[in-house]
């Protein structure tokens, strides 16, 4: 199976990024985790991206806060799918990172998830890998069924509590 690269701009992003790592782990998807910054370590970020396909990666998650150009900088150097996680920081509630990540000019796509949307970033990468992996697709189906069952259970409890007056 291809690996997923999980890259964050700073180790201060780890509390958010950990949710993506845990999700990949739950699905048994192989991954590597790195701290590469588009502005502090641009050469390392570039080298990793240029070599990612030949090093066995199938998708890349890039998480960054503030002027979050990491995902775009990585996408500039690979044609692998790049999923950007805008990380919330103190001053602008993550809207700065959201806009920096989502507003990529035409030709260099970054699939951007919600602010701090690390679980969805991992799920999107798993869905990408599942296109050529039936076992992974089956695990995704199973998770959807389990998630739906939990919601139906909560719905039953709410209906039981509030819909008895008639």
The reply to whether 94 sits near ligand RP5 by the rule CB under 6 A is: no
Q: Which tokens sit at 96?
A: 């700065």
By CB under 6 A, name the one of 5, 13, 80, 136 that touches ligand RP5. Answer: 13
Residue 118 touches ligand RP5, criterion: CB under 6 A: no
Contacts of 122 (CB under 8 A, 6+ apart): 4, 19, 20, 21, 23, 24, 27, 29, 61
Q: Is 119 left (phi over 0), alpha (psi -120 to 50) or beta?
A: alpha
Measured from the CB atom, is 27 or 36 closer to ligand RP5?
A: 36
H-helix segments, the chain: 14-26, 42-51, 70-75, 95-102, 118-130, 134-162
Q: Give me the least distance between CB of 11 and ligand RP5, in Å please.
A: 7
Q: Which of residues 34-73 bind ligand RP5 (CB under 6 A)?
A: 37, 64-66
By the 8 A CB rule, do 51 and 73 touch? no
Query: How far apart are CB 80 and ligand RP5 at their closest, in Å?
Result: 20
Residue (10 or 77) nearer to ligand RP5, CB = 10
Instruction: Tell the smallest beta-carbon distance from residue 162 to ligand RP5 (Å).
Output: 42
One residue of 45, 87, 125, 126 binding ligand RP5 per CB under 6 A: 87
Question: In whole angstroms, what is the distance from residue 51 CA to residue 55 CA?
Answer: 6
- Per CB under 6 A, the list member of 7, 9, 21, 115 interacting with ligand RP5 is 9
Give contact residues for ligand RP5 (rule: CB under 6 A): 9-10, 12-13, 37, 64-66, 87, 89
């Amino acid at each position: 199976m291809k690996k997923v690269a999980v890259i964050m701009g700073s180790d201060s992003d780890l509390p958010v990024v950990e949710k993506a790592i845990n999700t990949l782990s739950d699905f048994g998807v192989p991954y590597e985790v790195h701290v590469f910054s588009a502005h502090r370590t641009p050469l390392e970020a570039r080298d990793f991206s240029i070599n990612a396909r030949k090093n066995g990666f199938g998708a890349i998650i890039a998480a960054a806060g503030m002027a979050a150009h990491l995902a775009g900088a990585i996408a500039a150097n690979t044609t692998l799918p790049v999923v950007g996680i805008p990380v919330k920081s103190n001053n602008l509630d993550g809207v700065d990172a959201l806009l920096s990540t989502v507003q990529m000019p035409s030709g260099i796509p970054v699939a951007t998830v919600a602010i701090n949307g690390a679980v969805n970033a991992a799920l999107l990468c798993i869905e990408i890998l599942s296109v050529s992996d039936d076992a992974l697709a089956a695990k995704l189906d199973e998770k959807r069924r389990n998630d739906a069952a939990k919601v139906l259970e909560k719905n039953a409890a709410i209906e039981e509590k509030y819909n008895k007056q008639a």
